[in-house]
Amino acid sequence: MNEGLKTNMTLILATLLGAGGTALAVTAMDKPQPINTADKAAIEQVVREYILTHPEILPEAMRNLEARENKKIVDENRAKIEKPYAGAWEGAADADVTLVQFFDYACTYCRASRPDVDRLLAEDKKLKVVYRELPILGPQSLDAALASLAVAEQGNYGAFHRALYKAGRLTPQIIREAMQQAGIDMSRAKAAQNSAAVKEEIATNIELQRALQLTGTPSWVVGDTVLNGAVGYDQLKAAIAAARAKR
């Protein structure tokens, strides 16, 4: 087998496995050579036989493909993803890593994830958490999201955020009480809830959900990584560490 063919075959298998794949040891090689018809058929046969013999590489290959696609989508939308709406964020203003949470106040899994976020913020003084409203669970979710963004315009977002989660249920009265606990100017907030800026923010978050193929709430973006569901403290911390290591 000629060297150009061997090189191309190695690079194809390396691509299947992704950088750092353990199923095949790949050494640095020259750029692939042009492939003629006969070589192409031979490569396809070798790749097919390798996959049939080592089907365990397929999940790894799919994870690598998904990671590459996620990176591309996140890079294309990073400014929209990581820039908070007014004061809808917590943590370090000079953060080196930003964790973005897409959430719904009516989501029990989002509520269950709240202690994980609080723990991360307490432990990591270089972390910023950006909150993105994704009211997908009904009218009460939308009411809470509109109120939350109105609060974000006035500050003291964290107090409102925690008060509403602590309340458990979402009713107009409970939402008002959470706003009052945060010391919000209610007349100013009412005007903000009906503003074009607040409605545009929610529309943008829904567009991001579609672009990122988020499956629901909570969902997370940190660095190039997209996570779906209440993944827990350990997985979030590992993703933050990975994002920091890539900086």
Q: Out of 3.40.30.10, 3.40.50.800, 3.40.50.1820, 3.40.1410.10, which CATH number does the structure's domain 77-246 have?
A: 3.40.30.10
2 pLDDT above the threshold of 60: no
Domain ranges across the chain: 3-55, 77-246
pLDDT at 47 (0 to 100): 80
Q: What are phi and psi of 171, to 5 degrees?
A: -135, 160
Structure tokens at 179: 């706003």
**Mean pLDDT in residue range 109-113:** 97
The rounded mean pLDDT for the chain is 86
pTM of the full structure: 0.77
pLDDT tens-digit series, residues 135-144: 999 999 999 9
pLDDT tens-digit series, residues 191-240: 999 999 999 999 999 999 999 999 999 999 999 999 999 999 999 999 99
164 pLDDT above the threshold of 80: yes
Q: Read off the DSSP letter of residue 34.
A: P
Q: Read off the DSSP letter of residue 36.
A: -
Residue 224 contacts residue 74 (beta carbons within 8 Å): yes
**Mean pLDDT in residue range 162-167:** 92
- Amino acid identity for residue 76 in this structure: E
H-helix segments, 56-138: 57-82, 108-123
pLDDT tens-digit series, residues 15-62: 555 544 444 444 444 455 566 777 778 877 888 888 888 788 777 777
Higher pLDDT, 41 or 72: 72
Structure confidence at residue 65 as a pLDDT band (50, 70, 90): low
As a whole-number percent, the residues of the chain with pLDDT over 90 amount to 68
pLDDT at 101 (0 to 100): 98
DSSP 43-76: HHHHHHHHHHH-TTHHHHHHHHHHHHHHHHHHHH
pLDDT at 28 (0 to 100): 41
